[in-house]
Chain A
C-alpha cells in the first residue's frame, strides 16, 4: 500500500477526495484521447505505407529514366541541361489540429502551371530520355509532397500518443491507487481515533461513577 506522507486529518481527507475525483476524470478523458488518436494514427499509417510504396516505385522508375538519359548523353551535357531550373515550387504550410496535435498540411503551387513549359533546356540537343525522366519526376512530386505531410503527421502523432499513454498509465497505476490508499488510510486512522476517544470517555465515565457512588467499595 503506497500511502502518501500526509497528516490524517479531516481537512486533508476532503482535499484528497477532491484530488481523486479530478484524477479519475482526467484519466477518463486522457484515455478517450489516446483511443481516438490511436484510431486516427493507425488509419494514417496504413495510408502512408501504401503511398510510400507507390512513391518508391515511381522514384525507382524515374531513376532508371535518368540512367537511360545519362547513357545517351554525356555527363556534362546532362548536368548543363538541368543546371538552370525554370520551374519553382512554393509550399504553403497550414496546420490542422487533430486531438490537440498540430499536424501540417501542405499546399503547393508551381511557377508555371503549363507542363510543357517546365523543361529547363531546349529540345534540340537533349535526348528524349531526359524529357521522360523529368516528366516522370514531375508526376511523382504531388505524391512526394503528400507523403511528406503524412509522414510528418505520423511522427508528431506517435510522439503525442506515447506521451498520452504514459500519462494514462501513470494515472491509472500510480496516482489513483495512491490517492485511494491514502484516503483509506486517513479514514481508518480517523475511525481508530474515534474509537479510542470513545473508549476513553467510557472509561472516564466509569471512573467518575465509581467515585460518586463508591461501587467498588460496596462489593
Chain B
C-alpha cells in the first residue's frame, strides 16, 4: 500500500519539506505536537514520520507505543535551531539496549 511521509515540528524548520512533496504539520506547542503525532501515527496513512528534535524529545510517551511496530518509523531530524545530537544519542541507546553497553 502506498503511504506518505509526515513532518511535525515548528513551522520555520519544516516548511521547506512541503515543497518536495512531504506532508507538513506545523505545531506551536509540544502538547499540540504530541496530539498531532498520535492522530497521524494512528491514521495509518504515513509510514515515516519525521519529528524535529525538540518535538521528539517532548513526545516520549506517545512514541513508546510505536516502537515495536514496523510502521510508522518515527525519526528525529535537526531543526533550524541547530543540532542537539538527539539522533546519535538514540542510536547509542539502541546499541546499549542490544549489547548491554555502548561499544560504538
Contacts and interface: CB of A to CB of B under 8 A. Distances in A.
Interface stretch (A42-50, A180-188, A200-208): A42-50
B97 A162 contact: yes
Contact of A95 (B1, B18, B70, B99): B70
Contacts of B2: 90-92
Given A56-B87, A151-B73, A162-B97, A91 B15 contact: no
Contacts of A90: 2-4
Nearest to A110: B21
A78 B15 CA distance: 10
A85 B91 contact: no
B20 A138 contact: yes
A62 interface: yes
A11 interface: no
Q: How large is the interface on A (under 10, 10 to 19, 20 to 34, 35 or more residues)?
A: 35 or more
B68 A159 contact: yes
Contact of B78 (A59, A104, A148): A59
Contacts of B4: 89-91
Point out which of A56, A67, A120, A165 has the most chain B C-beta atoms below 10 A from its C-beta: A56
A103 B67 CA distance: 12
Interface in A72-130: 78-79, 82-83, 85, 87-93, 95, 102-104, 106, 110-111, 118-120
Interface string B70-102: 110101011110010001101100110111100
B27 interface: no
B87 to A, nearest CB: 5
B65 to A, nearest CB: 13
A102 B3 CA distance: 18
B5 interface: yes
A42 B104 CA distance: 8
Contacts of A56: 77-78, 83, 87
Point out which of B2, B5, B13, B20 has the most chain A C-beta atoms below 10 A from its C-beta: B20
Contact of B91 (A60, A151, A165): A151
A154 B91 contact: yes
Contacts of A62: 16
Point out which of A52, A87, A88, A119 has the most chain B C-beta atoms below 10 A from its C-beta: A52
- Which 4 residue pairs are nearest across A and B when measured between Cβ atoms? A87-B21, A152-B73, A161-B98, A158-B98
9 contacts: A52-B91, A55-B77, A89-B22, A91-B2, A91-B4, A92-B3, A106-B48, A152-B70, A161-B97
Given A60-B83, A151-B87, A159-B67, 7 more contacts: A42-B104, A56-B83, A87-B19, A90-B4, A92-B2, A93-B47, A162-B97
